[in-house]
Amino acid sequence: MSKKTATKQPLYKILYVQVIVAILLGILLGHFYPDVGESFKPLGDAFIKIVKMIIAPVIFLTVVTGIAGMKDMASVGTVAGKSMCYFIFFSTLALIIGLIVANIIRPGDGLNISPDSLDFSKVQGYVQQAHDASIVGFLMNIIPETVVSPLTNGNILQVLFVSVIFGLALSASGKHGEPVLTFFQNLSTPVFKMVTMLMKLAPIGAFGAMAFTIGKYGVSSISNLLLLIMTFYITSLLFILVVLGLVARYNGFSIIALIKYIKEELWLVLGTSSSEAALPSLMNKMENVGCKKSVVGLVIPTGYSFNLDGTNIYMTMAALFIAQATNIELTLTQQVTLLVVAMVSSKGAAGVTGAGFITLAATLSVVPSIPVAGMALILGIDRFMSECRALTNLVGNACASIVVARWEGALDKERMNEVLGGNVRLESEANNT
């Protein structure tokens, strides 16, 4: 890693600046030429596919080399246990916050929509996917068909499952495993170099995704549901700055400094509405900030399925919005039931594409007081809230990585202070100057 030099990098060469410009151009194109904007959808889809292509090998190499390099194998279970405790606590807290805010702001009041007038056919597909995403089915799906199939199907939890087992086996192989470990460690360098190369396509992907979103849905289409969107964005922002801010401060770092550090990933997520697009580079940055590779390899991929703070805030808030819009008053018992069901269903639909909407369908299916067909009310604006869900999830997982690393004694605090203070940059950033 290299120190900052006096030569400042030109703005047009900075990735996140390129992404911001691309997002703005996409918005303008989608707004003034909606048909043309819609036609650019393949650009966004192609970029996300390109990133997903590299996710499996990045996770595999990070976890295997991290675990195989650990001397105390018991610490693998400790890291996993501490991570899950962290995830469960803050996911539940996010659900509660969403419930409280929706009760105070009451964004659905005044719509006075009759449940009988709602079109169930619009959300039937999501309900079916939610029905298929049972807890047992979810757990069974973690086990892959073969050892190598996770590397081709891209299922994050399956990749993690195989990586942990292989890493443990490699560590237990002693001297016979050393050449294999050396090979994987050497292989990690070109793979992460490949990530750096692919990330240069981010502005193109962000442009295409944003042009499609605005072109298809239009800015005006969200005006009647603007209060719900604003409430959700403000709540998520407060969760990050206050809740995660306090957690960060207690653990010796600033949440603002962390957000500045991962700004490239945040802009990328904003442009593509996919937190997966930033997963490889986020793992690289968490290692660079001083977190041990084995901790990053376990916490970040697992957090992508279990630590979805933004999704959880959205779930309870959206459920209460539908109830308020259809003039259904929920008792305290019913709201607690909703909370408990949401806690379980959020794990059952983890890792499923469009998990936020599918998990909401799973929750409402079990709470008969709220009509599932009411999801049609927010179907049109869900795309505008997915960015916020993904952004909140990303910050939550970055924060979790540092916290768990500190708990485990696997955090280089001096390195963290230097990096978050802006005194050290990634090698890929230095190479662009």
Q: Are 11 and 17 in contact (CB under 8 A)?
A: yes
CATH architecture observed for domain 8-431: Orthogonal Bundle (1.10)
Query: Which of 127-136, 191-200, 337-346 ranks highest by mean pLDDT?
Result: 191-200
Percentage of the chain with pLDDT > 70? Answer: 79
Residue found by looking up tokens 């303008």 in the block = 28
Mean pLDDT of the chain, nearest integer: 78
In this prediction, residues 245-262 reach a mean pLDDT of 93
> Residue 37, Cβ neighbours under 10 Å: how many?
25
Look-up of token digits 């990749």: 159
Q: DSSP alpha helices (H): ranges in 33-73?
A: 34-38, 41-68
**Structure confidence at residue 380 as a pLDDT band (50, 70, 90):** low
- pLDDT for residue 159: 80
Question: What is the percent of the chain with per-residue pLDDT over 90, rounded to a whole number?
Answer: 12
Q: DSSP letter at 253?
A: S
What residue segments make up the domains of the chain, in order of their start? 8-431
Most confident of 138-152, 205-219, 277-291: 277-291
Give 245 or 352, the one with higher predicted confidence. Answer: 245
Has this prediction a pTM greater than 0.85?
no
Does pLDDT of 208 surpass 90?
A: no
pLDDT score of 201? 83
pLDDT digits (tens, 9 = 90+) for 228-240: 888 889 899 999 9
Q: Could you tell me if 300 and 86 are in contact, meaning their C-beta atoms sit under 8 angstroms apart?
A: no
